[in-house]
């Protein structure tokens, strides 16, 4: 078969299949099966050259590699970036696929269009590139985790500051944690009910992620009843957003708040729609940045 006749890779399907396999194995790709505190703590993946943080689906694709957590180094680079700086990717290293969207213009063929913009339409085209972890590259300067001075948002009280500054109505009491769209309030058990301050913070961040979906905020569909497919869809977004925020703040005890029933819903949804995880990650990014 000639090169130009080969079927193009279906990146949507590839990533979805990987995530389904991880979910069915009991290890969601946004959760790691080791002690993050002992491994150096979580951190958002970033580019070793530019310092820019990776976003959306790339947080998950890079999160499926244990390298950043096992080494406490969150940095990645392309082969060309390493080469341009005189570094060398180690022989035999396997890269991780990253993604970005490129805007592609399609001509509608409308000769009667009043201007050029009316005769064309833009579509997002998914493109891929390969990233290597800093531990796979010889010559990369040693990683020094930022201190509180360089990254004040990683201070222990940062999660409480986020909750306070959000002005969300957070009520303490009972044995369940939830967000109620009807009353626009978050209910949290007392902090003493949690095994650690970090566990309390991570669950509170999860509920704040739901809170962000109100019609007066990010305006997501929160109408699904408990146990429904729509409810599980929202849980998936809040689950990923929670972990993104925990990683940004350096919270090591980020609880997996949902159980097997939700995992089954997620797997079913992902099997039905290979682009769902990309949408979920993109929405989770917006939640984390809200």
Tell me how far apart the alpha carbons of residues 208 and 212 are, in angstroms, rounded to a whole number: 6
Pair 189, 210 in one domain: yes
Residue 12 covered by a domain: no
Q: Quick one: average pLDDT of 87-93?
A: 97
Asked if residue 20 belongs to a domain, the reply is: no
Q: pLDDT by residue (tens digit) across 16-26? A: 998 888 788 77
Q: How far is CA 235 from CA 100, 105, 231, 239, in A?
A: 25, 35, 6, 6
Q: Which of 125, 145, 165 is the last residue of a domain?
A: 145
Least confident of 64-68, 222-226, 258-262, 278-282: 258-262
Residue 22 lies in a domain: no
**Beta strands of the chain (E only): which ranges?**
46-47, 75-77, 88-89, 96-107, 120-133, 137-138, 169-172, 178-180, 185-188
Average pLDDT over residues 154-161: 75
Q: Are residues 115 and 167 in the same domain?
A: no
* Same structural domain, 47 and 160: no
The string of pLDDT tens digits covering residues 226-261 is 778 788 889 889 988 988 888 788 776 565 555 566
- Domain closes at, from 119, 145, 171: 145
User: By the 8 A CB rule, do 188 and 170 touch?
Assistant: yes
Residues 212, 259 within the same domain: yes
Distances (CA, A) of 127 to 57, 67, 107: 12, 24, 20
Question: Does a structural domain hold residue 51?
Answer: yes
Residues 167 and 273 in one domain: yes
The reply to whether 164 and 280 lie within a common domain is yes
**Same-domain pairing of 126 and 210:** no
Tell whether 226 is covered by a domain: yes
Q: Measured at the alpha carbon of residue 35, what is the angle toward residues 251 and 255, in degrees to the nearest 5?
A: 50
Where does a domain end: 90, 114, 145?
A: 145
Calculate helix-pair angle for 276-289, 229-249, nearest 10 degrees: 50
User: Structural domain tally of the chain?
Assistant: 2
> pTM (2 decimals)?
0.79
Question: What single DSSP character describes residue 53?
Answer: B
Residue 255, domain member (yes or no):
yes
Give residue 215's domain range. 150-290
The residue that leads in pLDDT, 186 or 59, is: 186
DSSP 4-34: GGSPPP-HHHHHHHHHHHHHHTT--TTS-SS
pLDDT at 18: 85
Neighbours of 159 (CB within 10 A): 22
User: Do residue 179 and residue 215 come from a single domain?
Assistant: yes
4 lies in some domain: no
Please tell me whether residues 184 and 264 are part of one structural domain: yes
Do residues 158 and 265 both lie within one domain? yes
In a domain, 6, yes or no: no
Please tell me whether residues 274 and 235 are part of one structural domain: yes
Alpha helices (runs of H) in 64-196, residue ranges in sequence order: 67-71, 79-84, 158-166
Look at residue 33 in the predicted model and tell me its pLDDT: 43
Closest of 228, 127, 211 to residue 162, by C-alpha: 211
The answer on 181 and 137 residing in a single domain is: no
What distance, in Å, lies between the first and last C-alpha atoms of the chain? 49
Percent share of the chain, pLDDT over 70:
79
């Amino acid at each position: 078969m000639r090169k130009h006749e080969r079927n193009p890779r279906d990146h949507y399907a590839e990533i979805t299949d990987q995530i389904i396999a991880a979910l069915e194995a009991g290890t969601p790709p946004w959760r790691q099966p080791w002690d993050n505190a002992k491994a150096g703590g979580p951190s958002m993946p970033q580019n070793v050259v530019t310092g820019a943080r990776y976003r959306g689906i790339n947080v998950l694709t890079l999160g499926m590699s244990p390298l950043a957590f096992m080494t406490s180094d969150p940095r990645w680079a392309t082969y060309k970036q390493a080469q341009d700086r005189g570094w060398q990717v180690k022989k035999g290293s396997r890269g991780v696929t990253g993604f970005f969207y490129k805007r592609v213009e399609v001509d509608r063929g409308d000769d009667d269009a009043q201007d050029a913009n009316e005769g064309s339409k833009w579509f997002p085209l998914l493109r891929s590139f390969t990233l290597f972890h800093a531990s796979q590259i010889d010559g990369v300067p040693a990683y020094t985790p930022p201190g509180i001075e360089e990254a004040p948002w990683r201070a222990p009280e940062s999660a409480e500051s986020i909750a306070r500054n959000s002005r969300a109505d957070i009520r303490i009491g009972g044995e369940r944690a939830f967000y109620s769209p009807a009353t626009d309030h978050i209910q949290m058990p007392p902090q003493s009910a949690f095994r650690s301050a970090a566990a309390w913070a991570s669950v509170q961040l999860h509920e704040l992620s739901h809170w962000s979906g109100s019609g007066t905020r990010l305006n997501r569909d929160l109408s699904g009843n408990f146990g429904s497919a729509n409810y599980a869809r929202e849980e998936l977004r809040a689950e990923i957003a929670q972990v993104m925020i925990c990683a940004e703040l350096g919270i090591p005890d980020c609880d997996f708040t949902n159980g097997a029933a939700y995992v089954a819903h997620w797997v079913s949804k992902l099997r039905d729609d290979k682009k769902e995880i990309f949408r979920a990650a993109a929405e989770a990014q917006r939640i984390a940045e809200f």
